[in-house]
Homo-oligomer: A and B are copies of this chain.
Amino acid sequence: MMKKSLFLTALSLAILTGCQNVGSQALQIEKQGSFTVGGSYVTHKGTFKQENFIAPEGQRAYGDFAYVKYQTPTNAKKYPLVFQHGGAQSSRTWESTVDGREGFDTLFLRKGYSTYLVDQPRSGKSNLSTKAITPDTPWASNPMYADKTFWILSRMGHYDSHNQPVANAQFPAGEAAYQAFQQAWTIGSGPLDNDLNADVLTQLVDQTKGAILVTHSMGGTIGWRTALRTDNVKAIVAWEPGGTPFIFPENEMPKITKARFEALSGAAMGVPMNEFLKLTKIPIVLYYGDYIQVGSDNVGEDKWGTELAMAKQFVATINKHGGDATLVHLPEIGIKGNSHFLMGEKNNQQLADLMADWLKQKELDK
């Protein structure tokens, strides 16, 4: 098989040719966002047990919902347009054209219509299915019986029931919010390759000629690796980085704090010092939420305890070599109850303001 890399993209083409047909005036958007609609779950027989927290027993697999992206312009017409894509496509069909011009989504917003763009069930951002795997439907690892695994590893509640949220929980209560959380996961269609992810993110950052990376969880290592690949990363804001290796000088590797389930322990990878020093050239901030404690009987609280211990060594090592890294453990500044998905919780505006203040402090808000 011949393998060839392509570096031109629709956007770079659009930039080169200046073929953005932006209307004479800015879009006036009253509201925008995304949600999932429909959906069901199947429950695996057996009883969920913390001691075997990734086993399917007693867990729900969610699926068969649609992902919907919506926008409403000011003074919208009475009836919105609901866009249904064709086979093996996604709502991408209705977005920008292949040469980077505005697609029907934006064109009809300009005409005053609200738009709802669907990724149909089992596709795109809604690619979870409750359809059991059979020899003639060899789909990815569906159904994914893991609702309690996700719940406890994310520190939203305790393992014996998702009806026991943590005290002062910032995660919204109720079945609908729980379902929306479960319906935000996606099934991969290839092995996780964080160097590939970083290579591609680097191409995007280079196209922007300078950008601030905002990462979450396992995306943390993708952010660090991207900063090693390009000077166009001007800062990194990492929300609970972990689950993938932090980066250290190969001759200054950190102490690993072991989790009770060892596979959940924080991890590190070594790089040559001259590579590591690139992380000392940009401001970096890491935010961690509440209920993080090595030794906790909640595997999520224990797991994130080992990640936090790793993150503290990461920050100390960057600063020891002249860098500008900050770690904010939110409970220590009075912000309680946040889980691993803090950017979407009840106080997300407060957290956005906190991040905006940091960017201002670093003069990245000009």
Contacts and interface: CB of A to CB of B under 8 A. Distances in A.
Contact of A185 (B41, B88, B121, B343): B88
A1 B41 CA distance: 10
B116 A189 contact: no
Nearest to A94: B343
A89 B185 contact: yes
A5 B189 contact: no
Given A92-B34, A201-B84, A8 B175 contact: yes
29 contacts: A3-B40, A4-B40, A4-B41, A9-B38, A9-B180, A10-B36, A12-B176, A13-B174, A27-B32, A28-B29, A33-B102, A33-B106, A35-B96, A38-B199, A38-B204, A66-B201, A68-B204, A79-B208, A87-B219, A88-B187, A90-B125, A91-B125, A92-B186, A93-B184, A94-B214, A94-B343, A97-B348, A112-B365, A139-B191
Given A27-B28, A186-B88, A223-B84, A124 B125 contact: yes
Given A84-B213, A131-B190, A6 B139 contact: no
Interface in A106-154: 106-108, 111-112, 116, 118-125, 127-132, 137-140, 142
A197 interface: yes
Nearest to A8: B176
B343 A103 contact: yes
A80 B9 contact: no
Nearest to A177: B98
A34 to B, nearest CB: 4
Nearest to A356: B111
A179 B9 contact: yes
Contacts of A42: 1-3
A342 B205 CA distance: 31
Interface residue tally on A, bucketed by range: 35 or more
Interface in A34-92: 34-45, 63-69, 74, 77-92
Contacts of A2: 42-43
A30 interface: yes
Given A34-B92, A127-B127, 9 more contacts: A22-B30, A34-B96, A66-B204, A79-B208, A79-B235, A82-B213, A84-B223, A122-B189, A125-B125
B32 A78 contact: no
Contacts of A365: 77, 112
